[in-house]
Protein backbone atom coordinates (compact mmCIF):
# COMPACT_ATOMS: atom_id res chain seq x y z
CA UNK A 1 0.00 0.00 0.00
CA UNK A 2 3.04 2.25 0.26
CA UNK A 3 2.98 5.28 -2.04
CA UNK A 4 -0.78 5.18 -2.59
CA UNK A 5 -3.11 7.81 -1.23
CA UNK A 6 -5.37 6.61 1.56
CA UNK A 7 -8.93 7.60 2.46
CA UNK A 8 -11.27 6.37 5.16
CA UNK A 9 -15.05 6.30 4.75
CA UNK A 10 -17.59 5.77 7.52
CA UNK A 11 -20.65 4.10 6.02
CA UNK A 12 -23.78 2.26 7.10
CA UNK A 13 -23.99 -0.95 5.10
CA UNK A 14 -27.31 -2.23 6.40
CA UNK A 15 -28.38 -2.92 2.79
CA UNK A 16 -24.96 -2.93 1.18
CA UNK A 17 -23.53 0.24 -0.36
CA UNK A 18 -25.75 2.88 -1.93
CA UNK A 19 -25.05 2.96 -5.64
CA UNK A 20 -24.01 6.62 -5.65
CA UNK A 21 -21.49 5.95 -2.88
CA UNK A 22 -20.17 2.88 -4.70
CA UNK A 23 -19.63 5.03 -7.79
CA UNK A 24 -17.68 7.51 -5.67
CA UNK A 25 -15.49 4.80 -4.14
CA UNK A 26 -14.80 3.20 -7.51
CA UNK A 27 -13.69 6.57 -8.90
CA UNK A 28 -11.34 7.03 -5.94
CA UNK A 29 -9.92 3.58 -6.61
CA UNK A 30 -9.36 4.47 -10.25
CA UNK A 31 -7.45 7.52 -9.05
CA UNK A 32 -5.12 5.27 -7.06
CA UNK A 33 -6.57 5.63 -3.56
CA UNK A 34 -6.42 2.83 -1.04
CA UNK A 35 -9.87 2.64 0.51
CA UNK A 36 -10.73 1.93 4.14
CA UNK A 37 -14.38 1.47 5.11
CA UNK A 38 -15.56 1.69 8.71
CA UNK A 39 -19.11 0.47 9.14
CA UNK A 40 -21.94 1.16 11.55
CA UNK A 41 -23.86 -1.85 10.19
CA UNK A 42 -22.94 -4.45 7.61
CA UNK A 43 -25.32 -6.64 5.63
CA UNK A 44 -25.04 -7.82 2.03
CA UNK A 45 -26.93 -5.92 -0.61
CA UNK A 46 -26.95 -5.47 -4.36
CA UNK A 47 -23.68 -3.50 -4.09
CA UNK A 48 -21.05 -4.54 -1.57
CA UNK A 49 -17.47 -3.60 -0.66
CA UNK A 50 -14.90 -5.01 -3.04
CA UNK A 51 -12.47 -7.58 -1.64
CA UNK A 52 -9.63 -5.15 -2.39
CA UNK A 53 -11.09 -2.57 -0.03
CA UNK A 54 -10.21 -2.68 3.65
CA UNK A 55 -13.57 -3.07 5.39
CA UNK A 56 -13.91 -3.03 9.17
CA UNK A 57 -16.89 -3.56 11.41
CA UNK A 58 -17.30 -3.43 15.16
CA UNK A 59 -18.84 -5.87 17.59
CA UNK A 60 -20.78 -4.12 20.30
CA UNK A 61 -19.83 -6.31 23.25
CA UNK A 62 -16.28 -6.67 22.00
CA UNK A 63 -15.99 -2.90 21.80
CA UNK A 64 -17.26 -2.52 25.34
CA UNK A 65 -14.85 -5.12 26.72
CA UNK A 66 -11.89 -3.37 25.07
CA UNK A 67 -12.62 0.02 26.62
CA UNK A 68 -10.35 -0.50 29.68
CA UNK A 69 -7.45 -1.02 27.29
CA UNK A 70 -8.26 2.20 25.42
CA UNK A 71 -8.43 4.00 28.77
CA UNK A 72 -5.02 2.67 29.88
CA UNK A 73 -3.41 3.81 26.61
CA UNK A 74 -4.45 7.46 27.12
CA UNK A 75 -6.43 7.93 30.37
CA UNK A 76 -6.70 11.73 30.39
CA UNK A 77 -7.84 12.01 26.78
CA UNK A 78 -10.18 9.05 27.18
CA UNK A 79 -11.89 10.48 30.27
CA UNK A 80 -12.15 13.96 28.78
CA UNK A 81 -13.88 12.75 25.61
CA UNK A 82 -15.97 10.17 27.51
CA UNK A 83 -17.37 12.87 29.82
CA UNK A 84 -18.12 15.01 26.79
CA UNK A 85 -19.90 12.10 25.08
CA UNK A 86 -22.05 11.54 28.16
CA UNK A 87 -23.10 15.17 28.02
CA UNK A 88 -23.83 14.85 24.30
CA UNK A 89 -25.74 11.56 24.60
CA UNK A 90 -23.14 10.17 22.24
CA UNK A 91 -21.39 7.53 24.32
CA UNK A 92 -22.19 4.61 21.99
CA UNK A 93 -20.56 6.41 19.06
CA UNK A 94 -17.57 7.31 21.25
CA UNK A 95 -17.10 3.62 22.10
CA UNK A 96 -17.24 2.68 18.42
CA UNK A 97 -14.81 5.46 17.51
CA UNK A 98 -12.32 4.04 20.03
CA UNK A 99 -12.56 0.71 18.21
CA UNK A 100 -11.64 2.37 14.91
CA UNK A 101 -9.12 4.92 16.23
CA UNK A 102 -6.33 2.37 16.48
CA UNK A 103 -6.78 1.38 12.81
CA UNK A 104 -6.84 5.02 11.72
CA UNK A 105 -3.58 5.71 13.56
CA UNK A 106 -1.88 2.46 12.54
CA UNK A 107 -2.69 2.90 8.85
CA UNK A 108 -1.77 6.57 8.83
CA UNK A 109 -5.20 7.75 7.71
CA UNK A 110 -5.25 11.54 7.72
CA UNK A 111 -8.73 12.03 6.27
CA UNK A 112 -12.04 10.47 7.26
CA UNK A 113 -15.15 11.12 5.18
CA UNK A 114 -18.70 10.36 6.32
CA UNK A 115 -21.81 9.96 4.21
CA UNK A 116 -24.91 11.29 6.01
CA UNK A 117 -24.97 13.48 9.10
CA UNK A 118 -26.19 10.83 11.51
CA UNK A 119 -24.36 8.02 13.35
CA UNK A 120 -21.63 8.04 10.70
CA UNK A 121 -20.84 11.70 11.34
CA UNK A 122 -21.00 11.21 15.11
CA UNK A 123 -18.42 8.41 14.95
CA UNK A 124 -16.29 10.56 12.66
CA UNK A 125 -16.51 13.45 15.12
CA UNK A 126 -15.17 11.35 17.98
CA UNK A 127 -12.51 9.88 15.68
CA UNK A 128 -11.33 13.39 14.99
CA UNK A 129 -11.13 14.12 18.71
CA UNK A 130 -9.26 10.87 19.35
CA UNK A 131 -6.81 10.93 16.42
CA UNK A 132 -6.70 14.49 15.09
CA UNK A 133 -7.64 13.29 11.59
CA UNK A 134 -9.23 15.61 9.07
CA UNK A 135 -13.03 15.18 8.99
CA UNK A 136 -15.44 15.82 6.14
CA UNK A 137 -19.07 14.85 5.65
CA UNK A 138 -21.59 14.73 2.82
CA UNK A 139 -25.04 15.86 4.00
CA UNK A 140 -27.86 14.50 1.85
CA UNK A 141 -31.36 15.32 3.15
CA UNK A 142 -33.05 13.38 5.94
CA UNK A 143 -30.48 14.37 8.57
CA UNK A 144 -31.49 18.01 8.11
CA UNK A 145 -35.09 17.23 9.03
CA UNK A 146 -35.04 14.09 11.17
CA UNK A 147 -32.01 13.63 13.39
CA UNK A 148 -31.73 11.45 16.48
CA UNK A 149 -29.30 13.88 18.17
CA UNK A 150 -29.58 17.51 17.15
CA UNK A 151 -27.10 18.68 19.77
CA UNK A 152 -24.37 16.33 18.59
CA UNK A 153 -25.22 17.04 14.96
CA UNK A 154 -24.56 20.76 15.45
CA UNK A 155 -21.40 20.10 17.43
CA UNK A 156 -20.03 17.66 14.84
CA UNK A 157 -20.76 20.08 12.01
CA UNK A 158 -18.86 22.73 13.95
CA UNK A 159 -15.76 20.54 14.18
CA UNK A 160 -15.87 19.19 10.62
CA UNK A 161 -13.16 20.58 8.35
CA UNK A 162 -15.38 20.45 5.27
CA UNK A 163 -19.13 20.04 4.89
CA UNK A 164 -20.38 18.92 1.49
CA UNK A 165 -23.99 18.88 0.43
CA UNK A 166 -25.80 17.91 -2.73
CA UNK A 167 -28.05 20.91 -3.36
CA UNK A 168 -27.89 24.67 -2.96
CA UNK A 169 -31.09 24.48 -0.90
CA UNK A 170 -29.29 22.25 1.61
CA UNK A 171 -26.25 24.53 1.67
CA UNK A 172 -28.33 27.57 2.52
CA UNK A 173 -30.15 25.57 5.22
CA UNK A 174 -26.87 24.45 6.76
CA UNK A 175 -25.59 28.02 6.88
CA UNK A 176 -28.76 29.76 8.07
CA UNK A 177 -30.29 27.15 10.38
CA UNK A 178 -27.27 25.23 11.63
CA UNK A 179 -24.70 28.02 11.55
CA UNK A 180 -22.05 26.32 9.46
CA UNK A 181 -19.29 28.53 8.08
CA UNK A 182 -19.99 29.44 4.43
CA UNK A 183 -16.35 29.00 3.39
CA UNK A 184 -16.28 25.37 4.53
CA UNK A 185 -19.82 24.50 3.39
CA UNK A 186 -19.54 23.28 -0.19
CA UNK A 187 -22.11 22.51 -2.86
CA UNK A 188 -20.82 19.43 -4.70
CA UNK A 189 -23.51 17.63 -6.60
CA UNK A 190 -23.60 13.87 -7.01
CA UNK A 191 -22.48 12.50 -10.37
CA UNK A 192 -23.21 9.75 -12.83
CA UNK A 193 -20.71 8.14 -15.17
CA UNK A 194 -21.96 8.86 -18.73
CA UNK A 195 -20.33 5.69 -20.03
CA UNK A 196 -20.71 3.17 -17.21
CA UNK A 197 -24.39 3.94 -16.65
CA UNK A 198 -25.48 3.50 -20.24
CA UNK A 199 -27.47 0.34 -20.96
CA UNK A 200 -25.02 -2.52 -21.42
CA UNK A 201 -24.79 -3.52 -25.09
CA UNK A 202 -22.74 -6.65 -24.37
CA UNK A 203 -24.10 -10.19 -24.61
CA UNK A 204 -25.69 -11.27 -21.34
CA UNK A 205 -24.88 -14.66 -19.83
CA UNK A 206 -27.07 -15.54 -16.85
CA UNK A 207 -26.25 -17.96 -14.04
CA UNK A 208 -28.67 -18.62 -11.18
CA UNK A 209 -27.88 -20.64 -8.08
CA UNK A 210 -26.74 -20.47 -4.49
CA UNK A 211 -23.01 -20.06 -3.88
CA UNK A 212 -22.37 -23.73 -3.21
CA UNK A 213 -19.53 -25.93 -4.43
CA UNK A 214 -21.73 -28.15 -6.62
CA UNK A 215 -22.92 -25.16 -8.67
CA UNK A 216 -19.44 -24.82 -10.20
CA UNK A 217 -18.94 -21.09 -9.77
CA UNK A 218 -15.17 -21.62 -9.48
CA UNK A 219 -15.18 -23.28 -12.90
CA UNK A 220 -17.25 -20.45 -14.35
CA UNK A 221 -14.84 -17.79 -13.08
CA UNK A 222 -11.90 -19.72 -14.55
CA UNK A 223 -13.73 -20.16 -17.85
CA UNK A 224 -14.41 -16.43 -18.06
CA UNK A 225 -10.72 -15.75 -17.39
CA UNK A 226 -9.84 -18.01 -20.34
CA UNK A 227 -12.11 -16.03 -22.69
CA UNK A 228 -9.93 -13.19 -23.89
CA UNK A 229 -12.81 -11.14 -25.22
CA UNK A 230 -14.84 -8.19 -24.04
CA UNK A 231 -18.23 -8.67 -25.72
CA UNK A 232 -20.11 -10.33 -22.85
CA UNK A 233 -21.08 -9.88 -19.22
CA UNK A 234 -22.13 -12.52 -16.69
CA UNK A 235 -25.22 -11.82 -14.59
CA UNK A 236 -25.04 -13.71 -11.29
CA UNK A 237 -28.19 -14.31 -9.23
CA UNK A 238 -27.52 -16.01 -5.92
CA UNK A 239 -25.76 -15.77 -2.60
CA UNK A 240 -24.10 -18.09 -0.14
CA UNK A 241 -20.91 -18.93 1.72
CA UNK A 242 -18.48 -19.10 -1.22
CA UNK A 243 -16.52 -15.90 -2.05
CA UNK A 244 -17.51 -15.78 -5.72
CA UNK A 245 -16.95 -12.03 -5.95
CA UNK A 246 -13.49 -12.52 -4.48
CA UNK A 247 -12.69 -15.23 -7.02
CA UNK A 248 -13.64 -12.92 -9.87
CA UNK A 249 -11.51 -10.15 -8.38
CA UNK A 250 -8.50 -12.43 -7.93
CA UNK A 251 -8.84 -13.77 -11.48
CA UNK A 252 -8.89 -10.23 -12.88
CA UNK A 253 -12.37 -10.59 -14.37
CA UNK A 254 -14.50 -8.72 -11.84
CA UNK A 255 -15.49 -6.26 -14.58
CA UNK A 256 -17.16 -9.11 -16.48
CA UNK A 257 -19.50 -10.02 -13.61
CA UNK A 258 -22.62 -8.32 -12.26
CA UNK A 259 -23.91 -9.62 -8.93
CA UNK A 260 -27.63 -9.26 -8.23
CA UNK A 261 -27.91 -11.28 -5.03
CA UNK A 262 -30.98 -13.41 -4.40
CA UNK A 263 -33.97 -12.16 -6.36
CA UNK A 264 -37.73 -12.58 -6.15
CA UNK A 265 -39.12 -14.69 -8.99
CA UNK A 266 -40.69 -11.66 -10.67
CA UNK A 267 -37.31 -9.94 -11.01
CA UNK A 268 -35.64 -13.21 -11.90
CA UNK A 269 -38.11 -13.69 -14.75
CA UNK A 270 -37.08 -10.32 -16.13
CA UNK A 271 -33.45 -11.48 -16.25
CA UNK A 272 -34.45 -14.77 -17.88
CA UNK A 273 -36.25 -12.82 -20.59
CA UNK A 274 -33.39 -10.36 -21.12
CA UNK A 275 -30.37 -12.66 -21.06
CA UNK A 276 -28.91 -14.17 -24.24
CA UNK A 277 -27.45 -17.39 -22.86
CA UNK A 278 -27.93 -19.34 -19.62
CA UNK A 279 -25.05 -21.24 -18.04
CA UNK A 280 -24.85 -23.62 -15.08
CA UNK A 281 -21.58 -25.61 -14.66
CA UNK A 282 -22.85 -28.10 -12.04
CA UNK A 283 -20.45 -30.77 -10.80
CA UNK A 284 -19.92 -33.54 -8.26
CA UNK A 285 -17.95 -32.42 -5.21
CA UNK A 286 -16.45 -34.20 -2.25
CA UNK A 287 -17.97 -33.45 1.15
CA UNK A 288 -17.56 -34.88 4.60
CA UNK A 289 -18.99 -38.37 4.49
CA UNK A 290 -19.28 -38.69 0.71
CA UNK A 291 -20.18 -36.57 -2.31
CA UNK A 292 -22.66 -33.85 -3.18
CA UNK A 293 -24.51 -33.60 -6.51
CA UNK A 294 -27.45 -31.86 -8.14
CA UNK A 295 -30.77 -33.46 -9.01
CA UNK A 296 -32.04 -31.78 -12.16
CA UNK A 297 -31.72 -28.05 -11.46
CA UNK A 298 -35.02 -26.22 -11.83
CA UNK A 299 -33.20 -23.07 -12.99
CA UNK A 300 -32.29 -24.95 -16.18
CA UNK A 301 -35.97 -25.70 -16.76
CA UNK A 302 -36.86 -22.05 -16.15
CA UNK A 303 -34.23 -20.79 -18.60
CA UNK A 304 -35.33 -23.33 -21.21
CA UNK A 305 -38.97 -22.35 -20.72
CA UNK A 306 -37.85 -18.78 -21.47
CA UNK A 307 -36.52 -20.13 -24.79
CA UNK A 308 -32.88 -19.49 -24.02
CA UNK A 309 -29.88 -21.52 -25.17
CA UNK A 310 -28.24 -23.20 -22.17
CA UNK A 311 -24.71 -24.36 -21.49
CA UNK A 312 -24.35 -26.89 -18.71
CA UNK A 313 -22.54 -30.11 -17.79
CA UNK A 314 -22.98 -33.86 -18.18
CA UNK A 315 -23.74 -34.07 -14.49
CA UNK A 316 -26.05 -36.76 -13.00
CA UNK A 317 -29.60 -36.16 -14.28
CA UNK A 318 -28.97 -33.00 -16.31
CA UNK A 319 -28.72 -34.86 -19.69
CA UNK A 320 -32.28 -36.07 -19.06
CA UNK A 321 -33.33 -32.45 -19.51
CA UNK A 322 -30.74 -30.77 -21.72
CA UNK A 323 -29.86 -31.97 -25.22
CA UNK A 324 -27.23 -29.30 -25.78
CA UNK A 325 -24.92 -27.62 -24.96
CA UNK A 326 -23.33 -30.15 -22.58
CA UNK A 327 -19.67 -30.15 -21.51
CA UNK A 328 -17.73 -32.35 -19.07
CA UNK A 329 -18.17 -31.30 -15.47
CA UNK A 330 -15.28 -29.63 -13.63
CA UNK A 331 -13.69 -28.60 -16.93
CA UNK A 332 -13.33 -24.81 -17.17
CA UNK A 333 -11.44 -25.13 -20.45
CA UNK A 334 -14.31 -26.97 -22.17
CA UNK A 335 -16.81 -24.60 -20.57
CA UNK A 336 -14.90 -21.63 -21.98
CA UNK A 337 -14.87 -23.20 -25.45
CA UNK A 338 -18.64 -23.81 -25.31
CA UNK A 339 -19.36 -20.27 -24.16
CA UNK A 340 -17.11 -18.80 -26.86
CA UNK A 341 -18.64 -20.96 -29.59
CA UNK A 342 -22.18 -20.07 -28.52
CA UNK A 343 -21.34 -16.36 -28.33
CA UNK A 344 -20.00 -16.59 -31.87
CA UNK A 345 -23.21 -18.21 -33.18
CA UNK A 346 -26.07 -15.79 -32.41
CA UNK A 347 -28.00 -17.04 -35.43
CA UNK A 348 -28.43 -20.40 -33.65
CA UNK A 349 -29.83 -18.97 -30.42
CA UNK A 350 -33.45 -18.79 -31.54
CA UNK A 351 -33.55 -22.38 -32.73
CA UNK A 352 -31.79 -23.67 -29.61
CA UNK A 353 -34.14 -21.68 -27.39
CA UNK A 354 -37.28 -22.86 -29.16
CA UNK A 355 -36.16 -26.49 -28.89
CA UNK A 356 -35.41 -26.03 -25.20
CA UNK A 357 -38.85 -24.58 -24.60
CA UNK A 358 -40.45 -27.48 -26.45
CA UNK A 359 -38.56 -30.00 -24.29
CA UNK A 360 -39.80 -28.39 -21.09
CA UNK A 361 -43.40 -28.10 -22.26
CA UNK A 362 -43.42 -31.76 -23.31
CA UNK A 363 -41.66 -33.37 -20.38
CA UNK A 364 -41.48 -30.93 -17.46
CA UNK A 365 -44.89 -29.27 -17.36
CA UNK A 366 -47.68 -29.30 -14.78
CA UNK A 367 -48.76 -32.74 -15.94
CA UNK A 368 -45.92 -34.02 -13.75
CA UNK A 369 -47.75 -32.56 -10.78
CA UNK A 370 -50.86 -34.48 -11.80
CA UNK A 371 -48.86 -37.66 -11.25
CA UNK A 372 -47.71 -36.42 -7.86
CA UNK A 373 -51.24 -35.55 -6.82
CA UNK A 374 -52.43 -39.03 -7.84
CA UNK A 375 -50.01 -40.50 -5.30
CA UNK A 376 -50.79 -37.88 -2.63
CA UNK A 377 -54.51 -38.69 -2.89
CA UNK A 378 -53.96 -42.34 -1.94
The predicted-structure confidence for 77-124, as pLDDT tens digits, reads as follows: 999 999 999 999 999 999 999 999 999 999 999 999 999 999 999 999
> Phi, psi at residue 204, to the nearest 5°?
-105, 120
> Phi, psi at residue 109, to the nearest 5°?
-80, 120
177-213 exposure pattern, b = at least 16 Cβ within 10 A, e = fewer: ebebeeeebeeeeeeeeeeeeeeeeebbbbbbbebbb
Which among 351, 347, 274 is positioned nearest to 306, based on CA atoms?
274
> Which carries the bigger pLDDT value, residue 63 or residue 227?
227
pLDDT at 153 (0 to 100) = 98
Q: CA–CA separation, 188 vs 60, rounded Å?
A: 34
Task: Convert the pLDDT of each residue in 278-327 to its tens digit.
Answer: 999 999 999 888 898 998 999 999 999 999 999 999 999 999 999 999 99
> Phi, psi at residue 33, to the nearest 5°?
-95, 145
pLDDT at 200 (0 to 100) = 65
Mean residue pLDDT across the chain: 93
Domains defined along the chain, listed by start: 5-187 (3.40.50.2000), 203-369 (3.40.50.2000)
Task: Convert the pLDDT of each residue in 236-254 to its tens digit.
Answer: 999 999 999 999 999 999 9
> Phi, psi at residue 169, to the nearest 5°?
-55, -45
Amino acid sequence: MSGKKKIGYILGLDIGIHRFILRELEELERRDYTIFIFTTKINPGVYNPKPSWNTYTFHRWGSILKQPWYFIKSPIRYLRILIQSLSDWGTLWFLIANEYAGIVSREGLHHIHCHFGDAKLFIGYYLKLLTGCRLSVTIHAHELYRNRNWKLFRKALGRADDIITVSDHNRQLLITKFGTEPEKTHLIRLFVDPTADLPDTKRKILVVGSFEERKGYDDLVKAVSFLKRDDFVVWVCGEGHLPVRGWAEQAGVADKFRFFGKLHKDLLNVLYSQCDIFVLPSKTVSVKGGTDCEGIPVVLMEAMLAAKPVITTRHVGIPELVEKVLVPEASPEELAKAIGKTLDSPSSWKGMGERNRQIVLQNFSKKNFDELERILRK
